[in-house]
């Protein structure tokens, strides 16, 4: 008998029944390492809503505490969860650093992957002596870096979420791996050992699409920077031939009878180009290894040739206006040093005057002779110009040579050695010149000098 009447007795029985339902629900969530345990884990409590129907048919809800796993969580479980959390955080930071941040920084995850990819492709390419064959193989470097970076991020996320599920939820490693993969790649299946999903599942489900979406949005920026770089490199073909060579720039301007203003415009264009490449390639290092569409064209060789042409103009004709050339050389040097920092190339930031350079005096003499033969009028002798040219080139030669070596750039003249050793390829001479007065085409026979009378030059 219940004191207080039949109504009070019924209420007490109903309250006791509801309490048992709450307690039983709290001990039955998840597939734990100790399925007989009923007491929820104090360290990992979540709120579970329990539905109860009272005698009047009204639905009420109560909140009960329940452990994420039904077993006792050990120190090893907590360690697994923390390790997985650290992996996820590091990976997320690396993704943000590579795809979102605009500042150059070293990547702890994708940096080694890019280095391994570059070394593997280069090792395979070096087995071929033909430059054209090596160029075809090296063109895979940048695409493999992009795919490798995305794969590394997804694998790290998968490992991190697997460890978090294994340590926090109490699943076996195989079950945790299956559920993490299902959530991360949104495959549509999940582990059937648990009736409820955890917040980790939802985080994993959001991580995969976000990472892939960031990579997709990253590619247009990458190719936009690539197209801007290649535009001026392609325009240089008519001005310096291909492969590009510094003295050829001055020779062709001299042959065509161009005025000084056109040369000043060239320095201004390449000053802006160097600033753009410095910004984009240091922020997105994959662009450094993205090759040009044609095997005889390379952006490092192009920059080196224009810088050589600017230095030759400075030291051979000091009485001309050279402010634009100096400004371009300063920006070009900053560009090379930024790229050296991004690729880990050591260099001497304060070289000593008179230090020998790798370019030989004989090569300089040969270029000087070629320039005088096509009508270029230097204001210094070759002996006076060589020490000045050598000191200027000392500031950028080592960086440009190392970049050309790493990229296996086209072996143009004055662009340094290659491995395996490859003979330097001279620029292709112009095959025709447009007459200035009537616009007719004058074809230059092979072996003929490139110097033409004034009435047949392009003004």
pLDDT of residue 30: 41
Three-state secondary structure call for residue 311: helix
Bridge partners (DSSP) listed for residue 50: 62
Specify the pLDDT at position 132. Answer: 92
- Residue 439: the pLDDT is 62
Instruction: Supply 75's token pair.
Output: 């120190």
* Residues 306 and 235 sit within 8 Å (Cβ to Cβ): no
* Helix (H) / strand (E) containing 433: strand 432-434
Which pLDDT score, from 0 to 100, does residue 430 have? Answer: 64
pLDDT in tens, the chain (459 residues): 455 555 555 555 555 444 444 444 444 334 444 444 333 343 333 333 333 334 333 433 333 333 344 456 688 888 989 999 999 999 999 998 888 887 766 677 888 888 999 999 999 999 998 999 999 999 999 999 999 999 999 999 999 999 988 887 777 888 888 888 888 887 665 555 554 557 888 888 889 899 999 999 889 989 999 999 999 999 998 787 889 999 999 988 887 776 678 889 999 999 999 999 999 999 888 999 999 999 999 999 999 999 999 999 999 999 888 899 999 999 999 999 999 998 999 999 899 988 999 999 999 999 999 999 888 999 999 999 999 999 999 999 999 999 999 999 999 999 999 988 889 998 887 666 655 556 666 666 655 545 444 444 433
Task: Name the nearest CA neighbour of 278 among 103, 414, 96.
Answer: 103
Phi and psi torsions of 313, nearest 5°: -65, -40
What pLDDT score was predicted for residue 456? 44
Dist. CA 46–CA 48, nearest whole Å: 6
Domain ranges of the chain: 6-67, 75-216, 241-425, 429-459
**DSSP code of 296?**
T
Minimal CA–CA distance to 199: which of 86, 68, 82, 80? 68
Q: Are strands 441-443 and 432-434 parallel, antiparallel or unpaired?
A: antiparallel
Cα–Cα distance measured from residue 99 to residue 117, given in angstroms and rounded to the nearest whole number: 19
SS3 155: helix
- Residue 97 CB-density burial (10 A; 0-12 exposed, 13-18 middle, 19+ buried): middle
């Amino acid at each position: 008998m219940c004191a207080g009447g039949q109504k009070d007795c019924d209420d007490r029985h109903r309250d006791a029944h509801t309490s048992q339902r709450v307690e039983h629900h709290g001990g039955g969530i998840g597939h734990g390492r100790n399925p007989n345990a009923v007491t929820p884990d104090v360290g990992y409590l979540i709120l579970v809503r329990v539905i109860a129907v009272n005698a009047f048919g009204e639905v009420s809800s109560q909140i009960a505490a329940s452990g994420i796993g039904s077993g006792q969580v050990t120190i090893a479980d907590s360690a697994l969860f923390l390790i997985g959390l650290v992996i996820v955080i590091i990976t997320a930071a690396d993704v943000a650093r590579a795809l979102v941040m605009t500042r150059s920084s070293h990547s702890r995850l994708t940096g080694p992957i890019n280095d391994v990819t570059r070394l593997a492709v280069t090792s395979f390419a070096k087995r071929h002596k033909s430059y054209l064959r090596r160029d075809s193989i090296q063109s895979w470097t940048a695409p493999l870096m992009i795919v490798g970076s995305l794969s590394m991020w997804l694998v790290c996320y998968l490992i991190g979420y697997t460890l978090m599920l294994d340590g926090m939820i109490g699943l076996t490693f195989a079950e945790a791996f299956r559920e993490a993969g299902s959530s991360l790649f949104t495959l549509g299946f999940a582990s059937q050992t648990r009736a409820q999903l955890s917040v980790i599942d939802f985080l994993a489900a959001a991580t995969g699409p976000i990472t892939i979406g960031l990579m997709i949005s990253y590619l247009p920026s990458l190719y936009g920077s690539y197209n801007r770089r290649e535009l001026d490199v392609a325009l240089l073909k008519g001005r310096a031939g291909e492969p590009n060579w510094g003295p050829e720039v001055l020779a062709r301007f001299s042959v065509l009878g161009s005025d000084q203003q056109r040369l000043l415009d060239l320095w201004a264009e390449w000053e802006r180009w160097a600033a753009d490449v410095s910004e984009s390639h240091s922020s997105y290092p994959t662009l450094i290894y993205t090759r040009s569409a044609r095997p005889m064209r390379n952006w490092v060789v192009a920059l080196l040739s224009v810088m050589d042409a600017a230095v030759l103009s400075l030291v051979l004709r000091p009485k001309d206006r050279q402010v634009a050339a100096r400004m371009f050389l300063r920006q070009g040097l900053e560009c090379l040093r930024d790229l050296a920092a991004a690729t880990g190339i050591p260099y001497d930031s304060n070289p000593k005057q008179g230090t020998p350079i790798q370019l030989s005096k004989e090569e300089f003499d040969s270029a000087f002779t070629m320039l005088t033969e096509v009508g270029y009028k230097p204001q210094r002798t070759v002996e006076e110009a060589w020490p000045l040219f050598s000191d200027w080139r000392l500031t950028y030669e080592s960086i440009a040579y190392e970049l050309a070596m790493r990229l296996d750039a086209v072996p143009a003249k004055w662009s340094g050695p290659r491995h395996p050793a490859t003979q330097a390829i001279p620029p292709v001479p112009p095959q025709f010149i447009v007459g200035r007065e009537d616009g007719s085409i004058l074809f230059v026979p092979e072996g003929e000098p490139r110097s033409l009378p004034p009435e047949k030059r392009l003004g």
